[in-house]
Amino acid sequence: MTTVLPRLRAETITANSLKNITSSLDSLSPNQQLLPLTAIVNPRDRLEIGGCDVVELVQRYGSPLYILDEVSLRTACQQYRDAFTKHYQGRSQVLYASKAWSCLAVCAIVGAEGLGIDVVSAGEILTALRAEVAPSLIYFHGNNKSVDELSYALESGCTIVVDNWHELKTLDHLTKEQSLSTSFIEPRIMLRLTPGIECHTHEYIQTGHIDSKFGFDPNEIEAVFAYVSESSLNCVGIHAHIGSQIFELQPHQDIGGVMVQWFKLAGEKYSLKFSELNIGGGLGIRYVESDDPPSIEDWVKTVCAGVTDAFVTAGLGLPKLLCEPGRSLVGSTCVTAYTIGGSKTVPDIRTYITVDGGMSDNPRPITYQSKYRAVVANRMSAPLSQTVTIAGKHCESGDILIKDIQLPETNAGDILVVFGTGAYNYSMASNYNRLPKPAAIIVEGGESSLIIKRETREDLLRQDCLPERLRK
Ligand SMILES: *Cc1c(COP(=O)(O)O)cnc(C)c1O
């Protein structure tokens, strides 16, 4: 008998997730599940994802291994898209904030699902372009874009989300230079504003409050509008992003009301004809049982209601509404499989169990004190008999992946699978201690394919140079 894990776990979690039990798999919101949608326990008592036995995947591809469930990713994309169609009367476009995990396969899937892509560097632009995402659907963010990156984005035909005065003036200058050439296309820009909305999340991932390094301060908005109206930049709208891993709906309910006043001001006083409003990303996911994020549909519905209400009240037509989720699209679609090594028991204090990765493949626990859940994938129904701490293999006492988790008895060689590692894991991975970055695979219908090769020891030396005079 197989057990459908997202539902099994939802059952024991919170009242909110109880409603999931009766719904079919594709109506589950991936961001509310601890595990990918296709996760089951197979008859061999092992974890299976996308029809693939996770223990066999590790035997084939090695560990640590990122395992991406294609069904979960496509479902999340479709739920965003369908919710806008259902709850918004105007035009809309969902963008994937690719900093969550920028690689060819993820960009190609979200692109094929009709989403655009949000990028923050030339490297992310290149990845989106090579994944054949249309440049008209690529939006370039960042608070310190270089001249080189701006030129590349302009040549590629991306929309630029301007963050500050320095960038605005640089772009204006670049545009004037290029405007003499025959192939000149007026750059499409948006302006990022700091909306002054606070949300309850980790301080490092809050971006919408006034004291933030991102975006124009509300006090300078009129000066910015005046400057843009005199420039040769084609400004199509405004943008705000208030933070990440947000569980409350209120900040996104309010954002329409804050943005509409600036939309209106730009049109009435500065003759700027804005057509697009981008309200950012930020919807949270369930990392541990007590996390209780709203569903993708409820989040979209709230955003749409807030924007519609604000624009109708202001007597303006509905803008093209954009949002740019990262974590809630990709976070819950991936797990990381590790091989368990040794353990250490500090009497009366704790037992450490070590795995063959750590802060280099998942820097979130050490950076944000993030919490995770895990299972022993080769013995899924074994009773949870011990409380242990999962330690990484790096030379850093803080390299702890999970503190105090209930697990069955473990042995060296067991496969530990950590959930919710799709967002800000591979994209933040490093080679600390000269560990090669793990491989990533995608699973679907019993098939698995590599999407990122495992780095080799030689890869680690690829950029090293040894000057002649230092050679023996
Ligand atoms: C990080 C970021 C996002 C995505 O945030 P998530 O919490 O991953 O949805 C969207 N827009 C901007 C500008 C960002 O910086």
Low-confidence winner among 11-15, 223-227, 335-339, 367-371 (lowest mean pLDDT): 11-15
Report the C-alpha gap between 377 and 44 in whole angstroms: 10
Cβ atoms within 10 Å, residue 188: 18
Phi and psi at 452, nearest 5°, equal -140, 125
pLDDT value for 17: 34
Q: Of 29, 127, 56, whose CA–CA distance to 451 is shortest?
A: 127
pLDDT digits (tens, 9 = 90+) for 34-86: 999 999 999 999 999 999 999 999 999 999 999 999 999 999 999 999 999 99
Q: Average pLDDT for residues 23-27, to the nearest whole number? A: 68
Atom of ligand 1 nearest to the CA of 244: 7
Does residue 294 have its Cβ closer than 6 Å to ligand 1?
Answer: no
Spatial contact of 98 and 124, defined as CB atoms under 8 Å apart: yes
> Is 158 one of the catalytic residues?
no
If you measure from the C-alpha of residue 95 to the centroid of ligand 1, how many angstroms do you get, rounded to a whole number? 10
Distance 232 CA to ligand 1 centre (A): 29
Protein residue with its CA nearest to atom 13 in ligand 1: 241
99 CA to centre of ligand 1 in angstroms: 8
Distance 331 CA to ligand 1 centre (A): 12
CA of 339 to the centre of ligand 1 (A): 32
For residue 239, the ligand 1 atom closest to its alpha carbon is 13
Enumerate residues 6+ apart whose C-beta is below 8 A from 389: 350, 351, 352, 353, 400, 402, 403, 404, 405
Ligand 1 atom closest to Cα of 424? Answer: 8
Residue 113, CA distances (Å) to 14, 105, 108, 402 in order: 31, 12, 9, 34
**Amino acid symbol at 28:** L
Q: Which residues contact 465 (CB under 8 A, 6 or more apart)?
A: none
User: Of 140, 145, 192, 324, which is best to mutate to test ligand 1, by the most ligand atoms within 8 angstroms of its C-beta?
Assistant: 324
Residue that has been written with the tokens 């591979």 in this structure? 426
| Stretch 460-468: mean pLDDT | 97
- Of all protein residues, the one whose alpha carbon is nearest to atom 11 of ligand 1 is 280
| pTM score, whole prediction | 0.93
Q: Which of the four pLDDT bands, split at 50, 70 and 90, describes residue 31? A: very high
Architecture of the structural domain at 10-68+346-459: Beta Barrel (2.40)
Nearest atom, ligand 1, residue 329 CA: 9
- Going by alpha carbons, the residue nearest to atom 10 of ligand 1 is 281
Beta carbons of 161 and 192 less than 8 angstroms apart: yes
pLDDT at 466 over 50: yes
| Per-residue model confidence (pLDDT) at position 2 | 45
What's the mean per-residue pLDDT of the chain? 92
- 202 vs 387: which has the higher pLDDT: 387
The predicted structure's pLDDT at residue 269: 96
Q: Is 325 in the pocket of ligand 1 (CB under 6 A)?
A: yes
Task: State mean pLDDT over 427-433.
Answer: 98
Mean pLDDT on 355-369: 97
Alpha carbon distances (Å) from 124 to 32, 102, 158:
27, 6, 12
In whole angstroms, what is the distance from residue 315 CA to residue 101 CA?
39
Cβ partners under 8 Å of residue 112, min gap 6: none
Q: Is the CB of 329 under 6 A from ligand 1?
A: no
Domain-wise residue ranges, the chain: 10-68+346-459, 141-325
Find out whether the beta carbon of 121 lies less than 6 Å from any atom of ligand 1: no
Pairing label, strands 320-323, 334-346: unpaired
Could you say which of 3.40.50.150, 3.40.30.10, 3.20.20.10, 3.30.70.20 is the CATH number of the domain covering 141-325?
3.20.20.10
Reference 311, options 232, 244, 257; nearest CA is: 257
Which of the following is catalytic: 107, 199, 323, 395?
A: 395
Beta-carbon count within 10 A of 272 CB: 19
Position 22 confidence tier, pLDDT thresholds 50, 70, 90: very low
Query: Three-state DSSP class for 70?
Result: helix
Q: Rounded to the nearest whole angstrom, what is the distance from the C-alpha of residue 397 to the centroid of ligand 1?
A: 30
Which residues does 358 contact at the CB level (< 8 Å), separation at least 6?
Answer: 391, 392, 393, 394, 399, 401
How would residue 178 be classed by pLDDT, with cut points 50, 70 and 90? confident
99 lines ligand 1 (CB under 6 A): yes
- What distance in Å separates the CA atoms of residue 37 and residue 283, rounded to the nearest whole number? 18
Cis peptide bond prior to 64, omega within 30° of 0: yes
